[in-house]
C-alpha cells in the first residue's frame, strides 16, 4: 500500500564539480509504503524527477532502521513517524522563500561528479542566516536504474492515459450539454419569433384603429374650440396679470430663500474648515503621543532585558557562592579531622615522653611525623583564610547586584506608570477625535440636504418660467385666432356660427395634460393645465360672446359646475352641466342622437403631479393660494387649445 504525502515542483540549486551553480525546477515526491507480508514495516520513499527530462530520476528509500542511523549521524530529535511531516514542512518553507532574491531556506542538490549523470547526489535543506549556512537535513539519493526509469515512465504513461480518458469523458459530457442547450435555445428563439410577429400584427391593427379614432376626436374638438375662442380672450388677460403677480411673488420668496441658504452654506463651510484644522491638530498630537509611547515601550523592553541579564548573573553568583560554601565546609571538616589527629599525636607524644628512655628511635620518627602534620595544618589554615576572603568578596558583589536590581525595578515601575498615563491620554484624544469626526459627518449631511433643497427650489423656478412662457404663447395664439374670426365675420353675410351640439364638458383638475397621441396630425404635444378654486363662485356672464351662448358657473357643495347654453338651431336643448361626477345625462343623449363622440377619452383626464397649473381663466375668477386640492369642472376649455399650432407650445 502506497500513500502519497507530497508531490510539488520546487526550485533547486544544483551544484556539480567543476561546473557553475544553476537553478532549476525539480519535482519532489514523498511516498509512504506500508508492507505487511511477511512482516509489517514502513518505508519512506523520496523521489526526484524533472518534468522536462523524463530520464532524470533519483530515489531514496528510508526504512525505520535506516532512519535510526540517519538520526544518529545528523543529530535529529524526532522519530520516524513524525519525520515525513517535518521534512514536508521544510520543503514548504523552501517553496515560500524560492521567489525571493535572497531566500532563507534553500534546497540544494550537490554531486561530486562533473554532471548529474548516473552518479549519487545529496539533497540538502539549507537555512541561511547572518552567521553561516546551516544544513537542517542531508539525504543521499541514488540515480534510478534502467528498470526503475522504465517503471517510472510506465507509471507516467498510465497517469497521462487516465487523465486523457477523464478529459475525453468531460468533453463528451460538455458537447452533449451544449447541444442540448443549443436545441433548447433554437426552440425558444422560434417561439419568441412567432410571438414577435403576432405582437407586430396586433400593434399595427391597434395603431390603425387609434389613428382613425383620434382623427375623429380631433375634428370634433376643433369644432368645439371655435365656439369658445372668444371667451378665452377675456380669460387670458386676467390669467396673464395674475400669473405675472404670482411669478413675481414666488421669485422674491425664492431669492430670499436663496440668500438665506447661501448664508447658511458659508457658515457651514467655515465650520467645516475649522473642524478640519482641529482634526489636523489632533492627528499631530496623536502621532506625537504614539511616538512617545513607542519610545517608552522600547525603554521598558530594554530595562526588562537588562533585568533578566542581571537576574541570570545573580543566579550564577549564587551558584558559585554555594559551591564555595560547600568547599569551605569540606575544608572545615578536614581541619577538624586534623585537630583530632593532633590531639591523638599529643597523647602519643606524652606516652613516648614517658617511654623516652626506652624508645628513642620511635620518638624521633614520631617527631618527624609531627613536623609534617604541622606544615600541613599551616597550609590548610592559609587556604581557609583565602577562601574566607573570596566569600566576603562574593557577598559584597551580591549586595551590589541586589542594589542595582532594586534601582532597575524602581525605574521600570516609573516607566510603566508613565506608559499607562500616556496610553490613557492617547485613548482620550482618540475619543475626542471620533466625536469630532461624527460632528463633521453630521454637518456634511446638513450641507448636502440644504444643497438638495436649493436645487429643488431652482428647478421649481425654472418650471415656473417655462409655464409662464407657454401661457404667453397661448395668449398670443388666441389673440391671432380672435382677429382671424373677426375678419371672417365681416366678410361673411351669415351671422355668428352655430354648433350642432352642446359643448361637451371637460373636468380639469390640478394637473391635467393633453396627450400628443390624441392628435397625430399636429406632430407635437401641447401641454396645458388649469386650476380653479372650487371654494369661490365665478359669475361668467362676461364670457358670452354674443346673444347666442351663455356660460354660467355654480358653486355647490359637491363641486364647481359649468353650464354652457348655445343659442343654436335647437332652442329647446337643456343646458349642459359638468360637475365632479362627469357629463349630464341630457348631454349624453344629445350626443348619441347626433352620432358624435361623447367627449375626450379618459386618458385626457390623467393627473400629472409634476405639472404647474394655469390659474385664472376668467376675468372675475379669484385664485386660491392653496393649489394642492383644486376641483374645477369646465366644459370646452381644453378643446380650444387643440387646434393651436406647435409654434405656440414648445415641447
Question: Distance between CA atoms of 251 and 255, rounded to whole angstroms?
Answer: 6
Burial class (CB in 10 A: 0-12, 13-18, 19+), 282: middle
Question: Distance between CA atoms of 340 and 348, rounded to whole angstroms?
Answer: 12
First to last CA, the chain: 87
DSSP 619: T
CB 526 within 8 A of CB 646: yes
Helical (H) or strand (E) element with 633: strand 632-633
CB 31 within 8 A of CB 47: yes
Question: Distance between CA atoms of 494 and 620, rounded to whole angstroms?
Answer: 32
Supply the pLDDT for residue 475: 93
Supply the pLDDT for residue 650: 44
Residue 385: φ, ψ to 5° = -65, -45
Burial pattern 221-241, b for ≥16 Cβ within 10 A else e, equals bebbbebbbbbbbbbbebbbe
DSSP 55: T
Supply the pLDDT for residue 599: 45
Give Cα 177 to chain centroid, integer Å. 37
Give Cα 255 to chain centroid, integer Å. 42
Tell me the pairing of strands 105-111 and 57-63.
Answer: unpaired
What average pLDDT values come out for the chain (651 residues) when binned by 10 residues?
85 84 88 80 88 85 90 90 92 90 88 74 88 89 86 89 93 93 92 91 89 86 81 81 88 90 91 90 90 89 88 88 89 88 84 74 78 84 85 86 86 86 86 86 87 88 90 92 88 54 38 38 39 37 37 37 39 39 39 43 48 41 38 41 45 41
Residue 348: φ, ψ to 5° = -65, -35
Burial class (CB in 10 A: 0-12, 13-18, 19+), 417: exposed
CA atoms within 13 A on the CB side of 385: 6
CB 481 within 8 A of CB 229: yes
Residue 127, phi-psi category: left (phi > 0), alpha (psi -120 to 50), beta (remainder): beta
CB 28 within 8 A of CB 6: yes
Only one residue has cell 508492507, namely 35
Supply the pLDDT for residue 364: 77
Supply the pLDDT for residue 473: 92
Amino acid at each position: 500500500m502506497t500513500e502519497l504525502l507530497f508531490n510539488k515542483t520546487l526550485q533547486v540549486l544544483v551544484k556539480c564539480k567543476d561546473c557553475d551553480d544553476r537553478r532549476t525546477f525539480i519535482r519532489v515526491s514523498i511516498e509512504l509504503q506500508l508492507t505487511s507480508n511477511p512482516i509489517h514495516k514502513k518505508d519512506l520513499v523520496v523521489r526526484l524527477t524533472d518534468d522536462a527530462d523524463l530520464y532524470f530520476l533519483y530515489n531514496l528509500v528510508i526504512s525505520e532502521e535506516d532512519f535510526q542511523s540517519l538520526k544518529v549521524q545528523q543529530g535529529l530529535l524526532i522519530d520516524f513517524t513524525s519525520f515525513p511531516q517535518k521534512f514536508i514542512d521544510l520543503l514548504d518553507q523552501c517553496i515560500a522563500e524560492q521567489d525571493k532574491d535572497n531566500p532563507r531556506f534553500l534546497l540544494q542538490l550537490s554531486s561530486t561528479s562533473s554532471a548529474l549523470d548516473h552518479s549519487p547526489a545529496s539533497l540538502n535543506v539549507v537555512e541561511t542566516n547572518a552567521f553561516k549556512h546551516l544544513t537542517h537535513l542531508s539525504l543521499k539519493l541514488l540515480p534510478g536504474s534502467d528498470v526503475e526509469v522504465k517503471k517510472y515512465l510506465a507509471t507516467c504513461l498510465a497517469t497521462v492515459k487516465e487523465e486523457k480518458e477523464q478529459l475525453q469523458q468531460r468533453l463528451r459530457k460538455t458537447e452533449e450539454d451544449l447541444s442540448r442547450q443549443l436545441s433548447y435555445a433554437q426552440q425558444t428563439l422560434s417561439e419568441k419569433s412567432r410571438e414577435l410577429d403576432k405582437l407586430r400584427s396586433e400593434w399595427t391593427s391597434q395603431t390603425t384603429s387609434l389613428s382613425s379614432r383620434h382623427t375623429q376626436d380631433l375634428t370634433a374638438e376643433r369644432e368645439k374650440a371655435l365656439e369658445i375662442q372668444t371667451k378665452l380672450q377675456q380669460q387670458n388677460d386676467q390669467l396673464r396679470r395674475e400669473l405675472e403677480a404670482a411669478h413675481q411673488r414666488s421669485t422674491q420668496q425664492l431669492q430670499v430663500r436663496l440668500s438665506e441658504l447661501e448664508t447658511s452654506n458659508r457658515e457651514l463651510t467655515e465650520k467645516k474648515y475649522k473642524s478640519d484644522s482641529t482634526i489636523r491638530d489632533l492627528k499631530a498630537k496623536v502621532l506625537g503621543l504614539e511616538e512617545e509611547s513607542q519610545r517608552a515601550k522600547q525603554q521598558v523592553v530594554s530595562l526588562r532585558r537588562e533585568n533578566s541579564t542581571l537576574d541570570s548573573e545573580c543566579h550564577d553568583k549564587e551558584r558559585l557562592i554555594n559551591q564555595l560554601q560547600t568547599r569551605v565546609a569540606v575544608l572545615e571538616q578536614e581541619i577538624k579531622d586534623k585537630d583530632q589527629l593532633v590531639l591523638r599525636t599529643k597523647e602519643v607524644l606524652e606516652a613516648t615522653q614517658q617511654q623516652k628512655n626506652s624508645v628513642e628511635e620511635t620518638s624521633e620518627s614520631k617527631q618527624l611525623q609531627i613536623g609534617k602534620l604541622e606544615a600541613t595544618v599551616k597550609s590548610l589554615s592559609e587556604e581557609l583564610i583565602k577562601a574566607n576572603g573570596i566569600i566576603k568578596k562574593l557577598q559584597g558583589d551580591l549586595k551590589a547586584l541586589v542594589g542595582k536590581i532594586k534601582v532597575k525595578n524602581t525605574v521600570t515601575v516609573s516607566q510603566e506608570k508613565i506608559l499607562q498615563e500616556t496610553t490613557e491620554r492617547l485613548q482620550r484624544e482618540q475619543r475626542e477625535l471620533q466625536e469630532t469626526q461624527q460632528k463633521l459627518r453630521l454637518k456634511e449631511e446638513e450641507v448636502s440636504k440644504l444643497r438638495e433643497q436649493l436645487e429643488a427650489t431652482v428647478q421649481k423656478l425654472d418650471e415656473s418660467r417655462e409655464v409662464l412662457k407657454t401661457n404667453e404663447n397661448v395668449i398670443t395664439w388666441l389673440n391671432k385666432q380672435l382677429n382671424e374670426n373677426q375678419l371672417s365675420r365681416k366678410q361673411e353675410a351669415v351671422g355668428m356660427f352655430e354648433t350642432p351640439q352642446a359643448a361637451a364638458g371637460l373636468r380639469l383638475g390640478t394637473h391635467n395634460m393633453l396627450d400628443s397621441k390624441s392628435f397625430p396630425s399636429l406632430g407635437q404635444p401641447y401641454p396645458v393645465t388649469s386650476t380653479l378654486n372650487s371654494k369661490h363662485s365665478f359669475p361668467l356672464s362676461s364670457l358670452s360672446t354674443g346673444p347666442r351662448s351663455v356660460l354660467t358657473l355654480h358653486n355647490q357643495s359637491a363641486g364647481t359646475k359649468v353650464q354652457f347654453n348655445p343659442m343654436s338651431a335647437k332652442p329647446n336643448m337643456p343646458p349642459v352641466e359638468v360637475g365632479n361626477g362627469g357629463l349630464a345625462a341630457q348631454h349624453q343623449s344629445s350626443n348619441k342622437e347626433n352620432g358624435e363622440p361623447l367627449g375626450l377619452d379618459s386618458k385626457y383626464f390623467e393627473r400629472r403631479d409634476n405639472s404647474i397649473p394655469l390659474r385664472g381663466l376668467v376675468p372675475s375668477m379669484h385664485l386660491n393660494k392653496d393649489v394642492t386640492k383644486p376641483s374645477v369642472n369646465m366644459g370646452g376649455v381644453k378643446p380650444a387649445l387643440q387646434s393651436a399650432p406647435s409654434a405656440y407650445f414648445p415641447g
